[in-house]
Structure 1
Amino acid sequence: MSYFLFNFVRWGSYFNDYWYSLKSNLVEFPIHIIIVYINIYYLIPRFILRKKYWTYILYLVIALFMVYLVRTGLNYVLVTKDIWPEAETPAEFMSLNHIIAVILGELYVIGFTTAIKIVIDWSIEKRLNEDLAKLQMSTELKYLRTQIQPHFFFNTLNNLYALTLSKSDNAPNLVLKLSDMMQYILYEVNSSKASLLKEINHINNFIEIERIRFNDRVHAEMDITGDIEDICVPPLLLLSFVENCFKHGMKQNDQLKIHMSFEVLNSGYLVINITNNFNPNVLNTENSGIGNQNAKRRLNLLFSNNYILDSTVEDNMYKLYLKIPT
């Protein structure tokens, strides 16, 4: 309708004859619509998208020539006997200049509308691809989270079984801690972000359970700098690093010392440092790096390159540095 009104006013003003402009546009616009829809929904899908470019050109030329015949004939019968009133001199039917003028005008309409259709299709495809990427990322994140700690639950249940056999007083406390952890994992972690306070509480529960398992040979300290009340982090991400402290640092009949620090920077980042004593012999065990690989993959999915994860070993101390946006 906008294009019709534009053409109506344009040619009405050009000829100073709005009645002629209205009649000619009423004749020509249905032809524009037909050729445009044939091009968009038949010629392009059937030939362009299948890379049959020369066949497309052939059919388009035939269609344009048919448009010339129909448009010129209808204008002659219904509008005016002057088949080309825009020309300075009278034109004849099937003259080369008249054919070129009509075809160029039709190509302008086809090109204009095809460009609109391509932009709309691209926008829809882009949105669908973004939705698919988000769904894929969400699915992968959920899958990665399910990999995090099944071995921990198996070990804890085995230790619980041993405690119940010995009628240990620590069994009820272990059950409560394990229940809190399972509730958090199963019911509270449902998105790509979780409260840092809840994550810290989850880590504390984990450490308490490990302390029960290893007969208080675990010593953990934690420092917090800045306001972390509204800070969110990827759920269960930090737990994989803490698990590695036990996996790589626990020696038989020895103590494990863990120090964690959380610092909120004014630049909008959270810095996490984890340090623990470590046993280099454990690094060669099978699947020892799954937790870190899992964490790196999740960080890449969530933050792309906008994070820093680094780990070093100095003087039998394992040090992990993580900086992520809040």
Structure 2
Amino acid sequence: MFQFIKKYKAFLIGLLLIVPIFYMLDYIGFLLLPENQTLEIVLYAIFWGIILALPFHYYTYLKEKKKTVFRVLGLVALFFIALVIDSSMKVPDNPITFSLLIGFWIGLAYVLIPTFIKKYWTLIAFIYTPLFLYFLYLRLFSGDLETYLKIKEELPFFIFFLPIPVLFLVWVFEQWKWVQNLKAEKSKTELSLLRSQINPHFFFNTLNNLYALTIKNSKQAPDVILKLSDMMRYTIYEGEKETVKLGDEIEYLKNYMELHKIRYKKSVDLSFKHDVNPNLQIAPLLFIILLENAFKHGVETLSENAFIHIHLYEDADSIYFNIENNFDSKEMSQTKGIGLANLKRRLSLLYPKKYELNNYIEGTIYKSTLKISKHA
């Protein structure tokens, strides 16, 4: 309780100070407190006590925002000056008061939405300058006060306020556009991060293959290095593109499979059927994760009769990548790697609501089907 009071002591002080201030203002006649309305006075005291306490509660923040604080204080002073002039002169539609209030509202708008005001100040000036000059003409040069009041009754004065909803709609559109750009930038940043995660994940597995061959002084090591070099080039340069040819992705997958054929002494049934237009465009490095998982969680868990079957095909609307492999249920990993999670995230960014990824198990066979719309 003590910590709570200490944290919000400014509001307690504000409530204690506002009561004598109210009665002092009532005593000098500046404020008239309603008689026999205790609840109303209490509510007023709470409201103005909170208002009085806010600057003290946020003192540290306001200290960092000195310019904004001075601007707000200047606007408050301008507003009270306008009220004093209006009440002392008692002139209907006082041009001086009108001009000061326009300055107040423009200044308030600048404090609240400075970027918008800076961007559209020419539009605002274009709209309101003629209206302001027209008002001054009617008020000062159309005749005496009675003539002006008669014109005012006949003139639809709502035209002076008509631009406000127009500018408000422009501001709403700016906020919507800002949110959309923010989402796009966020997605772009996330996608770049996911690509950087995919590359090390793939090369970690491939370098392990190469390491096993070099230990054995295998004559196949140079071929592996050459293929790995080609795949690194593809991943680094083509992987950064928005889209690549489907034919290039097919060659990339074939090279990966060849690397694994060199590595394994055991017999592995690898088949890759593809019946697609090689010139179709697709985001790079989508299929490799599924193929990596088939080797890691399938082939590597079996001592014999391991297989991976891939079928890549298309229809009028979509591209399909089907892959299935067998595995040893006793060696089935319970942990989920980052590869599949990254693939799902990439797909959601690149093809929102335009893809389907399904994974399921039938006995000791693991199947994955990825469907991507051509009209994404």
> Map of 1:125-274 to 2, 5 A cutoff?
125-215=175-265, 217-226=267-276, 228-250=277-299, 251-266=301-316, 268-274=317-323
- Aligned length in residues: 263
**Aligned AA (2:319):** L
Partner Cα distance (2:146, 2:154) in 1: 12
Residue 320 of structure 1: aligned partner: 368
Q: When the two structures are superposed, what TM-score results if normalisation uses the length of structure 2?
A: 0.60
| CA displacement, residues 284-304 of structure 1 (integer Å, 9 cap, x when unaligned) | 344x34222211111112222
Q: Shift of residue 77 of structure 1?
A: 4.3
Kept after mapping to 2: 8 A contact 1:256/1:277: yes
187 and 231 in structure 1: CA distance in 2 versus 1, 3 angstrom threshold: same
* Greater fraction of residues in helix: 2
Kept after mapping to 2: 8 A contact 1:247/1:282: no
1:303 is aligned to 2:332: no
Partner Cα distance (1:238, 1:39) in 2: 61
Residue 109 of structure 1: aligned partner: 160
Q: When the two structures are superposed, what TM-score results if normalisation uses the length of structure 1?
A: 0.68
181 and 35 in structure 1: CA distance in 2 versus 1, 3 angstrom threshold: farther
Runs of 4+ in 1 over 4 A off after TM superposition: 33-40, 44-49, 70-74, 81-85, 98-102
Residue 95 of structure 1: aligned partner: none
Kept after mapping to 2: 8 A contact 1:262/1:270: yes
252 and 283 in structure 1: CA distance in 2 versus 1, 3 angstrom threshold: closer
Secondary structure at 2:304 match in 1: coil
Identity rate, percent = 31
| 5+ residue gaps, structure 1 | 1-29, 50-66, 86-90, 93-97
| 5+ residue gaps, structure 2 | 1-94, 115-130
Partner Cα distance (1:189, 1:47) in 2: 44
Match of 2:142 among 79, 94, 102: 79
44 and 219 in structure 1: CA distance in 2 versus 1, 3 angstrom threshold: same
| CA displacement, residues 123-151 of structure 1 (integer Å, 9 cap, x when unaligned) | 33333322222221121112112222524
101 and 123 in structure 1: CA distance in 2 versus 1, 3 angstrom threshold: same
Higher relative contact order (CA 8 A, sep 6+): 1
Q: Shift of residue 315 of structure 1?
A: 3.1
Residue 174 of structure 2: aligned partner: 124
72 and 318 in structure 1: CA distance in 2 versus 1, 3 angstrom threshold: closer
Secondary structure at 2:322 match in 1: strand
